[in-house]
Structure 1
Amino acid sequence: MNREERLIHIHHCRGIGWRGIDKLLKEDQDLVSIYELSVNTLIREFSFQRQYAELFHRDLHTLDIEKKLEDYKAAGIEVLTVFDPEYPPLLKMIYDPPWVLYTKGNRAIFQHQQLLSVVGTRKPTKEGLTALRFILTPLVDQGWTIVSGMALGVDGAAHHHALRSSTIAVLGSGLLHPYPKKHLSLFQNLIKYHLVISEYPPDQPPKRWQFPERNRIVSGLSMGTLVVEAQEKSGSLITADQALEQGREVFAIPGNIFNMNTVGTHRLIQQGAQLVTSAEDILSQFSTPLTR
């Protein structure tokens, strides 16, 4: 196996997360010596808890990663590591980029220069959806790529608006378990003409904690994030916070002050997010592209 395959192998093992892989890479950037480490060494030198060290060690020495990769290829799933030159450049700039991405669809979209993330409530109002269409239509007409999470509500609407241009969906589950099921037809359209990605191995089912975790990818792929109707405590605000931490622009569409769905959006504006009433409000912020 080469370094990329070893990283994919480790990424499939239970008992290890992003920080654990980071520690292994800092110790051995080629990930060769990891196969010689004992459970006690993992505990002593890498701060593994015993139960996780044993789980990781067992998977590392029993999982047939070559068979997994063959199965993915047969299913049309491509695997990309952070070491690959095709890894999305904006995402690589964030503090904690996914070590591995599993993709299905047109991976060339990763190299597009104009990307905007869109997030919002799963139960948008008619006015919110109208505002979203009004803002996105000029951007899509100019060839912008829209990034979202394929959730019900605003996410799904954003993807649909972008179908005539390009769009990326970031799942909170593996590619073999697209979620939600109500968007299965959208998923099929996206993998055929656009792009769907996940940092979770394809056979990973959806789990509640994975959706907030994937939000950093939604924001990290893009130059900025547009928030449409978000309640005061919501996943959309988590994504907006991630965008701010990543040094990206945050835009918010104002709404009815009596609508609970706009409380979080208005709070963002009070805290410095850019109030957006037209596509030009977004375009004017990107006269020069992000640089490394």
Structure 2
Amino acid sequence: MNQAERTTIADIPEINRQELKRIVGIIRRHAEVDLIILFGKYANGSMRSVLGGYELLLVSQQECWINTFKITEILDAAFCRPNRKEENIFLHSCSLSSLKSNCSKGNCFFISICNEGILVYDNKKCHYPIERQPYNPALHQAAYEYFADFAEVFLNRAESAWKDGQPRMAALNLFYTADMLFKAIESVFYGDVIRCSHLEYSYFRVRHFSWLLAESFNPAQNNNRMWYGQLLYYLRYSRNLPTFKVYEKDYQNCLAKLRSLRDIVARVCREYINATSKIRH
């Protein structure tokens, strides 16, 4: 985006500016933040969620993690969705040092936010804005290949173990396949991954970058909720529960969904990497 064309807070409709002011106030009461940057749809940015809504990056000088899941729950309780012009709010957080580090490495997600985003809160302690940096698509390609290759290894191990009559090993490798696939898309778009066994958390982070991913793996759908629960059950009990079993139907269902997830992740990551590789600064 040309700097002269950069969207400002004045370009946003009044009703949305008032909502953002209220949202920022609630966030500040419940999280120690130094910067809040509006990006995506309302900043007319290149990095935006397919789900729309308000997209905010919360930046803190402290290295402590801001629980954006909890903050989102607080926002929905204090400022109910039906009362908002925009129902969706996408929060992402990072430390100031992480923001600077990712920008210096050429991370497209953070650079685009710094270049195109609108500052909606600044306590003047971070010396923002950060110096403009060029994108580095090779960084994202390497991240995708790293996790996608591991996912393929785990998937092959699961299939081999099942054929060899080792359901416990097959089940464990099915979980790790899903884990690596979510980490692949996380690392490509964010430059980092969360270390958590609850795959739904990873899903909620990455669903913003693909309609197909958002619709096909939404935990709100009963079959998906069972799938996430099943994989977590495999992780927790495949190694030490004497009565542990994997039924043929469950195994085949998991396998089919993982192959679908693999194809979706590959497509969205490659499209993103190809798009950023064409950007020149």
TM-score under structure 1 normalisation? 0.29
The structure carrying a bigger strand percent of its residues is: 1
The structure carrying a bigger helix percent of its residues is: 2
TM-score under structure 2 normalisation? 0.30
